[in-house]
Amino acid sequence: ILNVEQSPQSLHVQEGDSTNFTCSFPSSNFYALHWYRWETAKSPEALFVMTLNGDEKKKGRISATLNTKEGYSYLYIKGSQPEDSATYLCAFNTNAGKSTFGDGTTLTVKP
Amino acid sequence: DVKVTQSSRYLVKRTGEKVFLECVQDMDHENMFWYRQDPGLGLRLIYFSYDVKMKEKGDIPEGYSVSREKKERFSLILESASTNQTSMYLCASSPGTGGSYNSPLHFGNGTRLTVT
């Protein structure tokens, strides 16, 4: 079983704070890394697909970076808003098309 | 938009019952997956399928089986439900080799199963 770790497990911030979390994964057999956002009572939705070392992706106030050589990815949220409250999952893909998920980081943004 | 539909949002079953969780996707995806999610744990892969009538064990297949008779439908079967199978079950799909292994998963809304 592949080991994908996310930290921290949970995070509480004030509205307007910027925050970041980490996903660590095996540095061998890398094919892709996916970030998902999972809001309460909804299904997980993909945020980013990252494939190349040094990749940087951005969607509004959320961005992500990738380092495949050392096996980590960072997700950044600038100026957190209450609607950003969710669990953020990363998933490591091998070329077999199978995703192995981390345990997630649960973000709570207080107004 | 891809739609992945799980037949039940909430389900309560008794220990020893045979339980079927159904999942249907409407985008002609080759790959389909069943995950379970428990508090404090990430999504753990139970079974997956790359094509009709094909199935592969995931990380925690014990106590489960699956069926994929049609491309759009992937069923998870609990042969004899036990209390430790109380969990949130998520179905997902993605394009297969004709698409890309980079494609993210499309998830259903989940089935919260309680076994009493």
What pLDDT score was predicted for residue A61? 97
pLDDT digits (tens, 9 = 90+) for A1-13: 678 999 999 999 9
Q: Which A residues, 4 through 23, put their C-beta within 8 Å of a C-beta on chain B?
A: 4, 6, 9
pLDDT digits (tens, 9 = 90+) for B66-90: 999 999 999 999 999 999 999 999 9
What pLDDT score was predicted for residue B1? 67
Minimal-distance CA residue of chain A relative to B96: A97
State the amino acid at position A5 in one-letter form: E
Q: Do B90 and A102 touch (CB under 8 A)?
A: no
Confidence of residue A99 (pLDDT cuts 50, 70, 90): confident
Residue A95 has its nearest CB partner, among B50, B101, B108, at B101
Q: What is the C-alpha to C-alpha distance for residues B94 and B89, in angstroms, rounded to an integer?
A: 17
Number of continuous H segments (helices) and E segments (strands) in chain B: 0, 12
Are B104 and B2 in contact by the 8 Å Cβ rule? The answer is no
What pLDDT score was predicted for residue A74? 97
Whether the link from the prior residue into A8 is cis, omega within 30° of 0, is: yes
Chain B residues within 8 A of A4 when measuring between CB atoms: 42
Residue A101 has its nearest CB partner, among B43, B101, B109, at B43
Q: Do B94 and A97 touch (CB under 8 A)?
A: yes
Chain A residues within 8 A of B108 when measuring between CB atoms: 43
Token pair for residue B111? 């089935």
Residues whose CB falls within 8 Å of the CB of residue A61, separated by 6 or more in sequence, listed in order = A77, A78, A79, A80, A81, A84
pLDDT digits (tens, 9 = 90+) for A23-61: 999 988 888 999 999 998 899 999 999 999 999 999 999
CA distances from A82 to A4, A16, A37, A62 (A): 27, 9, 14, 14
Q: Do A36 and B104 touch (CB under 8 A)?
A: yes
Q: Which residues of chain B have pLDDT under 70?
A: 1-2, 97-101
Are B23 and B5 in contact by the 8 Å Cβ rule? The answer is yes
What mean pLDDT is predicted for residues A51-72?
A: 94
Q: Does B65 touch chain A (CB under 8 A)?
A: no
